[in-house]
């Protein structure tokens, strides 16, 4: 790990094209890595904040690869950042080609800079000897939107050439680059939109005649790394796949049954205690509740799942979710609160109708492999599963 030094903004100004691009709230920058990288020509590939649905054949991914290849061929350093796919994918792709990099870290306590560097290096397969990290230090920390724009403006200040990729109409980058004279639009492509996909699935298979004896975990495709997966491995899959989502619902289901682990997640729960969710509804009942959630940019679930005997899950500590308002939540014992789901008369989400159960932590399904049933919508999906799991797989349609 390189040492960290602090550069006042006036000392840093010798590395930038113009002071006009520097955010006014930055008074100095923390630097880790070689300053010599800052003296070379640098390229920036700006992309507006992307929709959450990503496919391997999206034009902006191809455009990034072409633009980065051009930038590196002209012996430019690549400028990037972390925290979102549109910033991280170009960095990862450039790192695969042994490029020199400038990485702008998000504003945080200077004491966290080493941790941020270590995380970024691991997640993106960065070569620390070819990477210089910069973390802005503010007089007064701006609000979130201004903070993101400060990062963008700092990146622009360091750039000698800009290759826009996919810019949102009337967005920050379109407005900012209007009067910039070092922009090359050769790689610009249309800004992508969310593309929800909800094929009709009709339940015709009655193999689960005793459906009430099971609880069901329904999965969905991911448009980001799986839980526990590095961003570098996800980006490699995006690059190697010709079409579609390399982390689609069937791939996710295959990953779960091959690793033998259903990982608990807590982002959507009050208190954020990691838990695995199930439903006691039959497949036919639950599939009628499929929705595209605009706020999340994805389907709530897809027709790929695992059925596990209810008694086995109860023995492991699974319990039905407790639905109620804030007053009811305050009345619960601490041990009950991870099983709570808020409902409100004002809400349009009918959470209680999903009949949810939760199991805290992760679930080792490998230990239940002789008891579980795997659910997929079509025979073609069953045949794409690992051979050893096909006999216990039920085709729903």
Ordered by start, the domain boundaries in the chain are 4-176, 211-395
Sheet of strand 319-320, all strands in order from the earlier edge strand to the far edge = 319-320, 356-360, 275-279, 214-218, 305-309, 373-376, 393-395
pLDDT given for residue 275 in this prediction: 93
- Per-residue pLDDT, averaged over 56-82, amounts to 96
Residue 194: pLDDT over 70: no
Specify the pLDDT at position 19. Answer: 65
The whole-angstrom separation of Cα 297 and Cα 53 is 7
Whether residue 35 has pLDDT greater than 90: no
What pLDDT does residue 209 have? 61
pLDDT 10s digits, 95-106: 999 999 999 998
Q: Return the pLDDT at 164.
A: 97
- pLDDT given at position 121: 96
- Segment (H or E) for 237: helix 231-240
Inform me whether the pLDDT recorded for 335 exceeds 80: yes
- pLDDT band with cut points at 50, 70 and 90 for residue 223: confident
Average pLDDT of the residues in 11-33: 79
**Distance, CA of 207 to CA of 267 (rounded, Å):** 34
More confident residue, 133 or 396: 133
pLDDT for 198: 56
| Residues 40-54: tens digit of each pLDDT | 899 999 999 888 788
Check residue 328 and give its pLDDT.
87
Question: What integer pLDDT is reported at residue 352 of this predicted model?
Answer: 80
pLDDT of residue 298: 66
Span 330-337, average pLDDT: 89
Cα torsion angle, 12, 17, 18, 23, sign: negative
Distance of CA 251 to the CA centre of its chain: 16
Q: What is the DSSP string of 281-304?
A: S-HHHHHTT--EETTTTEES--S-
* Lowest-confidence segment of 92-106, 161-175, 244-258, 266-280 by average pLDDT: 266-280
Lowest-pLDDT choice from 195-209, 219-233, 289-303, 376-390: 195-209
- Is the confidence at residue 224, as pLDDT, over 80? yes
Mean pLDDT estimate for the chain: 87
Contact 100, 34 (CB under 8 A): no
Q: What's the pLDDT at 228?
A: 83
Question: What pLDDT does residue 317 have?
Answer: 95
Angle CA(227)–CA(263)–CA(385) in degrees, nearest 5? Answer: 85
Closest CA to 30 of 91, 111, 87, 125: 111
Return the number of other C-beta atoms located less than 10 Å from residue 105's C-beta.
22
**Res. 270 pLDDT band, cuts 50 70 90:** confident
| Mean local confidence (pLDDT), 179-197 | 85
Q: Is residue 345 scored above 80 in pLDDT? A: no
Task: Identify the band that residue 87 occupies on the pLDDT scale cut at 50, 70 and 90.
Answer: very high
pLDDT value of residue 18: 67
pLDDT of 52 reads 78
* pLDDT for residue 294 is more than 80: no
Residue 333 CB burial class (10 angstroms; 0-12, 13-18, ≥19): exposed
Confidence of residue 142 (pLDDT cuts 50, 70, 90): low
The predicted model gives 373-387 an average pLDDT of 90
Fold observed for domain 4-176: Rossmann fold (3.40.50)
**Closest by alpha carbon to 76, among 124, 32, 120, 41?**
41
What is the average per-residue pLDDT within 261-283? 87
Which pLDDT band holds residue 179 (cuts at 50, 70, 90)?
A: confident
CB-hemisphere CA count at 13 Å for 122?
A: 10
Q: Using 50, 70 and 90 to split pLDDT, how confident is the model at 11?
A: confident
């Amino acid at each position: 790990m390189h040492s960290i030094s602090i550069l006042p903004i006036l000392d840093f100004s010798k590395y930038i094209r113009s002071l006009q691009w520097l955010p006014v709230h930055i008074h100095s920058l923390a630097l880790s890595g070689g300053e010599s990288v800052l003296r070379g020509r640098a390229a920036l590939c700006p992309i507006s904040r992307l929709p959450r649905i990503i496919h391997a054949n999206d034009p902006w991914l191809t455009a990034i690869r072409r633009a980065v290849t051009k930038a590196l061929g002209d012996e430019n350093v690549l400028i990037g950042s972390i925290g979102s796919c549109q910033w991280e994918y170009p960095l990862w792709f450039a790192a695969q080609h042994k490029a020199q990099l400038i990485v702008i870290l998000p504003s945080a306590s200077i004491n966290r800079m080493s941790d941020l560097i270590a995380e970024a290096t691991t997640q993106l397969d960065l070569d620390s000897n070819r990477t210089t990290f910069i973390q802005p230090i503010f007089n007064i920390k701006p609000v979130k939107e201004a903070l993101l724009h400060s990062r963008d403006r700092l990146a622009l200040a360091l750039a000698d050439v800009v290759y826009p990729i996919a810019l949102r109409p009337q967005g920050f980058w379109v407005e900012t680059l209007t009067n910039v004279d070092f922009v090359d639009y050769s790689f610009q492509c249309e800004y992508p939109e969310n593309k929800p996909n909800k094929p009709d699935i009709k339940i015709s298979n009655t193999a689960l005649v005793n459906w009430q004896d099971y609880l069901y975990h329904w999965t969905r495709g991911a448009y980001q790394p799986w839980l526990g997966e590095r961003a570098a491995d996800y980006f490699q899959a995006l690059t190697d796949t010709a079409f579609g989502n390399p982390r689609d619902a069937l791939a996710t289901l295959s990953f779960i049954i091959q690793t033998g682990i259903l990982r608990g997640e807590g982002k959507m729960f009050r208190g954020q205690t990691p838990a695995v969710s199930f439903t006691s509804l039959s497949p036919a009942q639950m599939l009628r509740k499929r929705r595209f959630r605009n706020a999340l940019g994805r389907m709530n679930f897809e027709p790929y799942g695992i059925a596990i005997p209810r008694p086995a899950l109860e023995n492991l500590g699974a319990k039905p979710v407790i639905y109620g308002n804030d007053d009811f939540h305050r009345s619960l014992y601490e041990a009950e609160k991870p099983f709570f789901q808020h409902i409100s008369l004002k809400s349009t989400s009918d959470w209680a109708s999903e009949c949810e159960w939760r199991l805290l932590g992760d679930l080792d399904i490998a230990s239940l492999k002789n008891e579980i049933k795997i659910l997929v919508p079509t025979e073609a999906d069953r045949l794409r599963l690992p051979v050893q799991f096909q006999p216990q797989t039920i085709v729903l349609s």
